[in-house]
Amino acid sequence: MLSSSGHHDATRIGQENVAEKRRLTIISIVVVAILTIIVAGVTIWATYLIRGWDGVIEDDGVKTYPYRLPDTILPRHYDIEIEALLDGATTFNGVVSIRLEVTTETNVVELSAEEMQFVAIIKATEDQKKQHAKNGVLPAVDGKLAGISIKSEKTSSEVVLSGFSTAVLEKYRKIQVHTKNNLEKGAFYILRIEYQAPIRTDMRGFYSSKAADGSTVLSTQFESEDGRAAIPLFDEPKFKATYQMTITTKLKDEKTRVLFNTDEIERTNLPDGRVKVKFDKTPLMSTYLIAFIIGQYDYIEKTDGKIRHRIYTPVGKSEQGRAALEASIKVTKFFQDLYQVEYPINKMDHISIPSFASGAMENFGLITYRETYIIFDNATASQLDKENGIEVVSHEISHQFNGNIITCAFWTHLWLNEGFATFMETYALDKTYPDWKRGLKKLTNSVIYAADADSVPSADPIVRLYDKIQSKDEIDSLFNSITYDKGGAVLSMFFNYLGEDKFVQWIRSYFAKYKNQNAETKQLLELLPVQNVQETATNFGTWLHQPGMPIVQVNENADGTISLSQNRFFSYANATQVDQFKNSTWWIPLTYVTSADGDVKKVEMSSKVPSLKITDKVYKFNYHKTGFYRVNYSTKMWKNLIAKIEDFDTEDRFDLFNDIFSIATSTVENIDSSLMFEMLLALKNDDTSILWENMYQSILKLHQLLAAESVSNSFSRMVKDLVKNKYESIGWTNVPGADEDEENLDELRPFVLNLACRFGLTECVTEAFKRYQERNSTIIPPILRNAVYRAVVSNGGEREYYQILNQFKAEQDSVERTKLMYALAYTQQIPLLQTTLDLALSPHVKPQDSIFLIREVARNVPSGPNVAWNFVRTRYDAILSKCGQDQVSNRLVYGVGSLFTNIFERDELIQFFAPNIEKLSMKHYSNTLEAIEKNAKFLSKHLPAINTYLTEKYPPQTL
């Protein structure tokens, strides 16, 4: 799954999903060693116990947590029949027959189900209903329950039932069918359940949403644990089975499509005008990958080898799916070659869903998306919009292999799905669309999100322990930047360390061994194609099993040599927390160059030896930022690096900029914060989009933090000074023939224009207004529209605001609508900002977008945080009812709260949420409080020095 559209939001600030506050219990080495031997049977994992971390192994050997389903019964095949109509019905009917294999004699079949009406309960006698209401158990009558049966496969006879329990339903979202006698070990049975379930509206399970033309689409979103809201299932990744689906519905016209993971094999017209569609049996797969959809669509298709690729679009838009169709074919071919595994379904469908909570979902053979990722109108979508969308397509196709063919054993190993997909989405595009240079872009967004999320004390390790993940809330919280971005970043570091050939060999052996199965992290590491597997696995494990990232401290010795030491890097932490992690160490595959164009040297820093001496005269560490660590040099070395910044390659300039900015804003590290301004100013003539993108992000972050301070004026002057030259040299359009790298300029320009207009460079604002007014005669290139719309709203009045608002309301194209919508968050007039917030709850904004719009308002400087917070407090119930508890818990609380900069605001937030605290995601809530403390600490530590530097260099002026 792609967890949110935030990944491709150019104004994203900070992380939504920083890790949760949880410290692993320190278990004594003896206990762990014994456990290790019991569980692994070998001692290789005992090497994890070496200093630096808690010595916890990933599989603790305990398989029966109350939250989990027991292993006594394994589902092997499901026959599912769904009856659902597009006529506005609020429920649907279902029958599921599951072929079960009994592995341990038992008289209880336990499976997952949520909010269902069981025929057994509907048809129960009054007495039975009373008993059920009392203790949640429905007793059988004469060994039978209406709508529930278990049949022995061998004898075809029905098993005598003793009861049906929904008592465990509420807490663990499970049900139990009890039998009078034990089910036999090794035997097969067919469990059949009839039920009715709601057609939901909160974008999970089986839900309805409205297309732009007003038609209804019924579709599914099952990951992580919402399949059980639509079908009673064994809803855990490890219970792989095959599925055969039949859907009965009524077609509205010839464009009504009825879709499932596999292709249709039989269609029957029923006498009452309905149609019954039967689908092919699926390959072995986990329940969260099931999908079925009913709705009106057009499509385009192309068959390549054994696979038919289709892009389903809203009616009339099929041609806009061309780019995605081409990518689907190219990328699928690439992954089949890479993994040396055949894709097991004869079709690869990609379909847009009107309302979709995450970015996209990798359902086997039927991938679902937000419209903006697969439908591109050339008139409104820029090249970058397309690349960002196609990267999502690549992510989901990579999942058809890692995720769908090999699936993580449990969500604690989710990075095997998502960290892989994050790495692979870019790796595949670098091979299939090399001109796009997506690898470079990955370095400048995904990798910094990972580092940000990993630099707070509450960060979790990539691989989690089973006993820490015992609720839906905890599972959902794993879809975070650590799992995705850090997972991808450390995999990229392993790739660079092993080299491409060995890396590919490693991945292929993993697929050869575990295809159609589940895997845990250690099973991947055991297959490392290196001399000393055990040692390398332990080294890699320092990145997977402990939280945080290291910072390498560089010290120059008097004799000209260099001494290195490492410790955990914190963007924020208090003294106790720093102390708590003082022994954390990593194995670091260090690289360095001895001159700007010198050879790359490699040296490994052990996790066991605290320091390392290098006799070379080092110019820069972490060549091309291929390692997931920060480097802090001496002030003298930093000054030298800043002076020579233009000599470095793009990746290294970016690395140095990102490191100094992070270190100088950290509340723990101690370097002179003026160095980050010196670095910024030294980069003012830089000619790459990725540096400008990151300067833009960093400047906005500081702008927000300093908004309420008197130094804000000097800061704005500095930004104007920084951006002026660049603005004048690149202007608004390329001069044909004069600019060497037009594509880079196209991507660089929006950041320069956004900065220039936002910080009030008059020429820029004037030109933005002119272009907006002339938009009907001279089309604004799609890539400049964000800059133009935002400048016009931000610097204009009511007239311009309502012009953009009306344009938004009339616009049909999703990509263009998104640009217009976010621009409305940029007004400087508080009543209009209020109008934007009201818009977020109006029918003009889809539930999937409302919270993103509120967050964008919160980022408005200076009034955004307060205006948005007042709105959240006064309209909380309305927000909840439109967006659902999950969206509010996972996105809104942090999105708005993390922008606060003082403790009073933090206390206000605590007070507001206190009555509803148990409904929130604890992880996101505590991360929000942590973020506020971090902001407040930043100001108390750094404001005086920033003030001195900026007011001296840029004395405040009346603007």
List interacting residues with Zn ion (CB under 5 A).
1, 418, 421
Encoded tokens for 591: 């690289």
Question: Which listed residue (371, 387, 396, 767) is catalytic?
Answer: 396
Q: Which residue is nearest to Zn ion (CB)?
A: 421
Nearer to Zn ion by Cβ, of 417 and 887: the residue is 417
DSSP category for residue 207: E
- What is the Cα–Cα distance from 733 to 742, expressed in whole angstroms? 10
- 924 marked among binding-site residues: no
Q: Which residue, 1 or 554, is less far from Zn ion as judged by CB?
A: 1
How are beta strands 73-83 and 242-249 bridged, if at all? parallel
Nearer CB in complex with Zn ion: 349/418? 418
Q: Which residue has the tokens 């070990």?
A: 185
Closest to Zn ion by CB, 390 or 456:
390
CB of 322 to Zn ion, least distance (A): 24
Of the two residues 92 and 423, which places its CB atom closer to Zn ion in the complex? 423
DSSP string, 431-472: HHSGGG-HHHHHHHTHHHHHHHHHTSTTPPPSS--GGG--SH
Query: What are 550's two structure tokens?
Result: 């290291």
Q: Tell me the Ramachandran region of residue 523: left when phi exceeds 0, alpha when psi lies from -120 to 50, beta otherwise.
A: alpha
Q: What is the dihedral of CA 183, 184, 186, 187, to 10 degrees?
A: -70
The H-assigned helical ranges of 672-827 are 674-682, 689-706, 712-730, 742-758, 762-773, 782-795, 798-810, 814-823
The answer to whether 418 is a known ligand-binding residue is yes
Element (H, E) at 398: helix 383-401
Phi, psi values for residue 772, rounded to 5° = -65, -45
**Among candidates 262, 240, 295, 263, which has minimal Cα distance to 364?**
262
Shortest spacing between CB 1 and Zn ion, in angstroms: 5
- Per DSSP bridges, beta strands 148-152 and 188-198 are antiparallel
CB of 3 to Zn ion, least distance (A): 7
Minimum separation from the CB atom of position 201 to Zn ion (A): 24
Q: Is the peptide bond between 224 and the residue preceding it cis, with omega within 30 degrees of 0? A: yes
Q: Please give the helix or strand (H or E) that residue 179 lies within, else none.
A: strand 174-183
Residue 422: CB minimum distance to Zn ion, A = 7
Question: What span, in angstroms and rounded, lies between the C-alpha atoms of 260 and 933?
Answer: 48
Three-class SS state of 137: strand
Under 8 Å between Cβ of 210 and 191: no
Q: How far apart are CA 103 and CA 616, in angstroms?
A: 62
Q: Which lies closer to Zn ion via its Cβ, residue 419 or residue 457? A: 419
The values of phi and psi at residue 398, to 5°, are: -60, -35
For the chain, helix, strand, coil in percent to 5 are: 45, 20, 35
Nearer to Zn ion, 418 or 686 (CB): 418
In b/e form, how buried is each residue of 663-674, taking b as 16+ CB within 10 angstroms? bbbbbbbebebb
Question: What's the closest the beta carbon of residue 786 comes to Zn ion, in angstroms?
Answer: 26
Is 549 within 8 Å of 569 (Cβ atoms)? yes
Interhelix angle for 922-953 vs 650-665, to 10°? 100
Task: Give yes or no for a cis peptide into 862 (omega within 30° of 0).
Answer: yes
Helix ranges, 811-921 (H):
814-823, 830-840, 847-858, 864-874, 876-887, 893-897, 903-913
Output the smallest distance, CB 428 to Zn ion, in A. 13
**Which of 289, 699 has the CB closer to Zn ion?**
289
Is 396 tagged catalytic?
A: yes
Q: Which of 948, 957, 921, 933 is nearest to 16 (CA)?
A: 921
* 399 or 942: CB nearest Zn ion: 399
Which of residues 1 and 498 has its CB atom nearest to Zn ion in the complex? Answer: 1
In whole angstroms, the minimum distance from the beta carbon of 942 to Zn ion comes to: 37
- CB closer to Zn ion, 353 vs 537: 353
Q: First-to-last CA distance in the chain?
A: 47
On whether 395 is known to bind a ligand per the annotation, the reply is yes
- Sign of the torsion angle spanned by Cα atoms 306, 311, 316, 317: negative
Given the complex with Zn ion, which of 369 and 436 has the nearer CB atom?
369
Strands 161-165 and 174-183: antiparallel
Phi, psi of 510 (to 5 degrees): -65, -45
**Closest residue by Cα to residue 384 from 723, 9, 691:** 9
Q: How far is the CB of 650 from Zn ion (least distance, A)?
A: 28
Distances (CA, A) of 542 to 464, 525, 611: 13, 12, 17
CA atoms 487, 488, 494, 497: torsion sign: negative
Whether the CB-CB separation of 683 and 694 falls below 8 Å is answered with no
At closest approach, how far in Å is the CB of 424 from Zn ion? 10
Q: List residues with catalytic annotation.
A: 396
| Annotated binding-site positions | 395, 399, 418
| Annotated binding-site positions for Zn(2+) | 395, 399, 418
